[in-house]
A and B are shown apart, each in its own frame.
Chain A
Amino acid sequence: MASFTSATSVEEAVGAIGAGARPVAGGTDLVVGSRQGKKPLPDALVAIDRIEALRGISEQGGGLRLGALASHEEITAHATILSMYTALADASAIVGSHATRANGTIGGNVMNASPAMDTGGALLCFGATVTLRGAGGEREVPIADLWTGPGATVATPDELLVSVDLPEPAAGTGSAYVRLEYRRQMEIAVVGATAVVTVNEGSVTDARIAITALAPTIHRVAEAEQALTGTDGGDAAVAAAARAAAAGSAPIGDVRASADYRLAMAEVVARRAIAGALARARGETIPVPASDALYGA
């Protein structure tokens, strides 16, 4: 029999989840999925959208803590994210529509574990850690270890994601997320790439490059990162890194694109994301979202 509770504290929510309820925040993935007949709504639901402790974006040490309920709209408007974690703003700014961004939360996004999640690459490249709370207490999981496949995570069924922590990027870091966009809005990622690079005295000292919707999970491509690290970040290095990023993909062909096209586009969006991240690291202005700003680049 269907039941519904609205939790007002993390403890209450964790209790309900432990008893078999499924958490719902903005509902943008869960309810849509059930209406499309992908997966029926779980019988027991616990709404977590009123839990104050899960709200907000706050400075933590040099880094940033995103409450599970931080919406894409809040992320896109946050000054620190725009300046220091720009790729995350690039991603949140193009999720769905204005309504999706107002209601969709980072917690829901992360736990949905879609390989096409726009924000995933940025969280991965910035080295995010998530905090999961279960009946047995809290644990921290690096986001790189969280996703195990499409829609699958290492979280146990009784665990609730409470926050996402982003460490402080090194000085001289710039970042960008670029997605292949058939339309400027209302898209789902068909091919995406994230780059977070650190430039010191004209040299790339650190590079993190991830690809989206090109494999069962979003993942970083070590070969691409190596191809860029230690270089001057010039066109040749960018091109080599982009080629390596594409080589790290395993695209499928479906109604949205053929595998060949996805593969070719992986290189194009990776090149744009890397070039965009380098430009931002050097202090150049590329407006958010980068996908729109770098159209045709």
Chain B
Amino acid sequence: MTDTDTASAPTAFLRPDGKEKVTGSGRYTADLTLTGQTYAKFRYADYAHARILSIDTTKAKALPGVVAVITQDDLPDVRFGGFVQDRTLFAKDVVRFEGEIVAGVAALTPEIAAQAAAMIEVEYEPLPVVSDFLAAMEPGATLVHPDLESYGKDENIVASGNTMAYHTIVKGDADAAMAGADVVVKGRYVSDSSQGVPIEPRAVLAQWQGDQVTIWSSTQVPYAARAGVAQTLEVPEANVRIVVPLLGGGFGAKCDLHFEAQVAALARAAKRPVKLVFSRREEFVAIAQRREGIVMEFETGVTRDGRLVSRRSKLVLDKGAYCGEGGFLGQMAAMHACGPYQIDNIFVESHLNYTNNQPSGSVRAPTAPQVCWGLEQHMDEVARAIDMDPVELRRRTLIEAGAEGPTRQIFEEVGIKQTLERAVEMIGYGRDLPDDEAIGVAVGWWPCMPAPSGAYVHVNGDGSGTIVTGAQENGSGAVMAMPMFVAEELGMRPEDFTLLYQDTAAANWDMGSCGSQTTFNSGRAILAAAADVREQLLDAAAQELEVDREDLELAEGAVRVKGSPERSVTIADLAGAGTIHGKGSGDVPEVPAGDTGGCVGRLGNETFLTPQLITQAAHVKVDRATGVVRVLKVAAAHDSGMILNRMGADGQVIGGIVMGVGLALSEGTMLDDQGHQRNPALLDYKLVTCADAPQIEVDWIQIPTSGAGPRGSKGVGEPPQVPTAAAIANAITKVLGTQVRQLPMTPERVWSATQAAE
């Protein structure tokens, strides 16, 4: 338990945004108020799929207190989207999901705005609703986007019918190898869609001053929001400033362009500031970012001594109505259908299908937890089929240094086997348990996401410092830890630094808070900027002290001669009036070379740069009579490279696991056959509470590897989510003697599986 003891020790360096968060003085977007501010409400689609025959805003505009009503007719005819440009800001001609925005209203109070939105008269011709994402790819299915061919799209997108993106991974000869296997196991698994559910509902506040607009937004990706506003409203990026006040969580749900442009357009029309604050229901229904539903089929050929000779898999994913930033989901899912295993013969295909459901996008390790949940149950079934302990099967089949991946990348140091051994040790795998308890084990992986970034470090006249970064703090503390790293580089104290961040007018472009890459990319840039400052300080001090640079060191806020600390000059003196400025971006690591073997759909996730590797083991108790599962303990061993901030990293794992427990047992969006969510509220979409959270033990396998980020680190935030549901599933199967093949594994589904087995 030494590691848990370490984790529980209080920290001396308090996060820079901590005081404002515990005293209530911090400001989130919904807390801001501007002079003359008005309030936005959207009018949403009345159908999940319908042609708009007419929109009459006359009555709404006439309501006293209404200052603007707009529709797509008032805006440039621009479609946006990542790999496929398929959506307009407000609905144009057709609505394609229940959260589609038909019109926007700004009014003096939220109540008047809501009343006016309800007074907008929309005439529809209902169209057949495509809600079943398997049926969506059957011949003759109603097309969600009949004009898909005419849309702008990435050249690597392979689209057909309702399939927005088709991908394959082909290695060796899967069919022949399958035929020669000792044992072949097949399995089918279905995951419902689910939600990110940050506790802060989305808020946007926009104000124009002349041709320039400032938008305060609860976004994870301010630069993507800026680009999206500029593109859809046809204004220069230079005229758009996105500021993110404190961000109340994201988990991917606040990625992508999200309502900033609609609110800016309303503010322009109203000629005064407009503020949008979502209700919890809107946060469920209207955002274009949910975790996608997936139907998974796996077939694995294995030898009796536990060698995986062949894998076939077919994945069908629910894209929902629009591409957004989620065009890559199918390819990412395909990589997770292979998993961190050595398999010489592979055929995986994935279909990312349009439906009239809410759009899917990046939610914490997109596609990985669901596919891992299916694959790892399947792997346990493979182990049972050859009468081998499932941990032993993984020992024999996991990748190691020098192994070739599914797309022929050659792995360098990978600690997956070490994570397996450590996790089973922590959980006490193999010990006797009561017959309603069991331990399940699952492994998973997640890539590092290389991206450019840039940062400045200024040394002020009094020797304090300012770090200017485009990085976005989502709460994880990744940005909050930066003063520690810069201070170490410059021999200063972390508290000497403040951060200027989350303001596109101040800092360089950054990918934002997504893909667990803040330390990896933004951190690399900040350290490069700090190194630039360090060079300048050494140069200046060498001149001042008339010594060789090599004889100098930075410590205690000064540059001093090694071995003669009394010969020194303070950083404050060297900074003059504040004239030392460092900048940096660092070299972006290259994604490893690879080959999908297939000829279609390479969108950038076909190889995994310095993968993060994970084993989690879950100890669960199952109430057989009711199907209610309680997770007693989860042991997590992760290879995320070198860990720079232990408390922050542990916090990510613990939080990710608890979110994973919810995904496993209670978090599923239920849809009716007309594409409406049936449980868009926290009473019926159940998050794990404090009273149900398991005991969690965390340890890290720290291995230096090339291609890693600053100081040997990899990402941290998404991997914890990947194998939790899978480990819980494998434990449930051990208790029940049968699998629960639908996610979330609700009490009723666990109970039904038991009934079916009896």
Contacts and interface: CB of A to CB of B under 8 A. Distances in A.
Given A255-B678, A296-B623, A183 B684 contact: no
A183 B621 contact: no
B625 A268 contact: yes
A250 to B, nearest CB: 19
B303 interface: no
Interface in A176-193: 180-186, 188
**Central interface residue in A36, A181, A186, A257, by most chain B CB within 10 Å:** A186
B679 A255 contact: yes
A261 interface: yes
Interface stretch (B381-389, B421-429, B649-657, B685-693): B685-693
Given A183-B686, A183-B689, A185-B689, A257 B748 contact: yes
A295 B748 contact: no
A186 B678 CA distance: 19
Contacts of B436: 296
B747 interface: yes
Interface in A35-55: 36
B751 A188 contact: no
A264 to B, nearest CB: 7
A292 to B, nearest CB: 9
B209 interface: no
A264 B678 contact: no
A77 B223 CA distance: 54
Given A184-B691, A184-B692, A185-B689, A295 B679 contact: no
A182 B689 contact: no
Contacts of A181: 628
Interface string A238-278: 00000000000000000111100100110011000000000
**Central interface residue in B630, B681, B748, by most chain A CB within 10 Å:** B748
B731 to A, nearest CB: 15
25 contacts: A180-B626, A181-B628, A182-B666, A182-B746, A183-B666, A183-B686, A183-B689, A184-B692, A185-B691, A186-B683, A186-B686, A186-B689, A255-B670, A255-B678, A255-B679, A255-B684, A264-B751, A265-B626, A268-B626, A269-B626, A295-B630, A296-B436, A296-B621, A296-B622, A296-B624
A185 to B, nearest CB: 5
Given A256-B684, A296-B623, A182 B628 contact: yes
B692 A183 contact: yes
A256 B436 CA distance: 25
A182 B684 contact: no
A183 B621 CA distance: 14
Contacts of B692: 183-185
Contacts of A255: 670, 678-679, 684
Interface in B349-408: none
A209 B624 CA distance: 24
A269 B748 CA distance: 14
Given A261-B751, A264-B751, 12 more contacts: A180-B747, A183-B686, A183-B692, A184-B689, A188-B683, A255-B684, A257-B748, A261-B747, A261-B752, A295-B630, A296-B623, A296-B624
Interface of A: 36, 180-186, 188, 255-258, 261, 264-265, 268-269, 295-296
Nearest to A37: B281
B628 A180 contact: yes
Interface string B624-646: 11101010000000000000000
A62 B436 CA distance: 44
A212 to B, nearest CB: 15
Nearest to A256: B684
A83 B483 CA distance: 58
Query: What 8 pairs across the A-B complex have the smallest Cβ distances?
Result: A296-B623, A184-B691, A261-B748, A185-B691, A268-B625, A255-B678, A255-B679, A183-B692
Contacts of B622: 296
B758 to A, nearest CB: 12
Nearest to A185: B691
Interface string B443-465: 00000000000000000000000
B30 to A, nearest CB: 16
A29 B681 CA distance: 16
A149 B754 CA distance: 35
Contacts of A184: 689, 691-692
Contacts of A186: 683, 686, 689
**Central interface residue in A255, A256, A269, by most chain B CB within 10 Å:** A255
Contacts of A269: 626
A194 B623 CA distance: 20
B669 to A, nearest CB: 11
B168 to A, nearest CB: 38
Nearest to A269: B626
Contacts of A183: 666, 686, 688-689, 691-692
Interface string B734-758: 0000000000001110011000000
Nearest to B625: A268
Nearest to A295: B623
Contacts of B630: 295
Interface string B646-684: 000000000000000000001000100000001101011
Contacts of A261: 747-748, 751-752
Nearest to A186: B689
Contacts of A268: 625-626
Contacts of A182: 628, 666, 686, 746-747
A181 B625 CA distance: 12
Contacts of B621: 296
A287 to B, nearest CB: 15
A6 B686 CA distance: 36
A261 B626 CA distance: 9
B693 to A, nearest CB: 10
Contacts of A180: 626, 628, 747
Interface string B714-731: 000000000000000000
Contacts of B751: 261, 264
A265 B755 CA distance: 13
Contacts of B678: 255
A117 to B, nearest CB: 15
B320 to A, nearest CB: 20
**Central interface residue in A183, A264, A295, by most chain B CB within 10 Å:** A183
Interface string B284-326: 0000000000000000000000000000000000000000000
Nearest to B681: A36
**Central interface residue in B626, B666, B686, B689, by most chain A CB within 10 Å:** B626
A255 B678 CA distance: 7
B173 to A, nearest CB: 45
A265 B627 CA distance: 10
Nearest to B629: A182
